Amino acid sequence: MIGVLAADIRSRHRSWITNSCLIEKEEQI
């Protein structure tokens, strides 16, 4: 149970970082 929760948080954190990078790139254009 804890492992699944940790994996979910890790995947959400990774997607959040990806979205932040994409937003920054769009602002630079």
* pLDDT tens digits for range 5-23: 888 888 888 888 888 877 7
Please tell me the predicted confidence (pLDDT) of residue 9.
87
* SS3 per residue for 1-29: CHHHHHHHHHHHHHHHHHHHHHHHHHHHC
The pLDDT value given to residue 13: 85
How far apart CA 16 and CA 21 sit, in angstroms, is 9
1 pLDDT above the threshold of 60: yes
Task: Name the pLDDT band for 29 (thresholds 50, 70, 90).
Answer: low
Query: How much is the pLDDT for 20?
Result: 85
